[in-house]
Structure 1
């Protein structure tokens, strides 16, 4: 399935939903965040990638006011993180790695509880509950105990509970961990809808690189507390060597002629293929085709190979430290 980016059909917004400069955090002598800077546009999906212990969850905890940074400053939804924490909390929702659903309550009761926590009136709380349960396809299960829900249903309920407060910014910390592929794609569709239809800003941490590729307008890579790369998925992929255009020829003489045209190509005489280094851009592909046309040659097959986010992740990041504590994830 081709990557579908939420921002593809919209004019890129310029206002910052989240901005941070020099955020630092240590636990004892363990430096978890080493002065990171962020700027996340409103109405976009921002994905933070990194191995275990890189500092992803710590970043979310700081920006959502759960813990304080040791140094640096940040603004979330226009509010200063240190001086206006109540304003930040009023504008955000947080869905953690593990669903914060009370198994002893029904789906509806879990939603009512969140409405009470947000000090909604009884009528408004019931209205939002009913609307969100319908939106997340949970209306038929509204009066079932959450303990009977599948993993996918629990994650949907957890996100629905987050939306009771009508947040402008949602932090999703590894939201699809443990879900089967179908449930994961359902969650992706919900996230896309929240951004495209509601204008919500999503701050996503994930270890599923396909998830970031599918959803994120911009991606940052965090390693050992430092941001080491940031850009769109395509920009990050272009930073990694190994991209190439592969030409295959059925006839040996055409293969030989093409090999003479592309001296930098890696040749495989047995399969009669050429691998021509490429940055994945259209101009490079066009140049290869022009050379073939100029020589009146036609390849039997042509494929373009670009590095994926797995390559980006493995090339840029260090192996996770097995001694790293949970708090530094």
Structure 2
């Protein structure tokens, strides 16, 4: 017998007893299974957007970290401070005296102009927000690899994604160790992995580089979605100590650096006359880092077109790199 949910039906039972008498009974049935509500999360540059849907005529209430929030047309925006946030969303739906509660745990990072780092140890994944950028992101482990959701600004600027190698060498993401990353010389494709992104049309290779300690792969990504490690062909790319993209540039350029040791990092941009126009100094915890320069000087004024020289000072090593600005 199939009865539609959220309806009232009548059950008629007719039977013959051992004496040959026909007996019948009519039973009214009120079927009230409540479908699970759906929770959809999007990330903005300053917080989270929650979208909740439930079957009519259910009454819906939502709490975030045990605090009630008000839905407007099934949506609520959560403003978050800079930093890593562990949020527990609980959605309660009820019809008459029947209630169902669905919970979802969300880990997010809101980064400011000083950048940020988000580690997901159980998935062997790490995300670096460039210094000078900012915005929000969500990252969680899924069956295919790691799912990454980027806010609009981070999708425009890009973030650094690092995934560790698995012990078995498969495409699954394994737990990794935290620590510094080192440049790895180019090597043949035996045992070499690269990043792949699950596009609407299937898996797409993402430009990436090999790092070690812990061994893994690093790449700059701009799209939300699922990423994984996959075996590549040809030669593994060596991660250069200093890299800039795009170069030449017009509006802004991402300056990428890979120090072999954690510590104080200093970046200085010199104009064509050899005068410093912009300088940054900050502590870096190791691994690949990045910074966005918007082509302005210390006073926030746009600099002229020309060839500029980038000096990157890391613990024990100094590197130089040319930048071409075209207005």
TM (normalized to structure 1)? Answer: 0.24
Bigger share in strand? 2
Higher relative contact order (CA 8 A, sep 6+): 1
Bigger share in helix? 1
Question: Could you say which structure has the larger radius of gyration?
Answer: 2
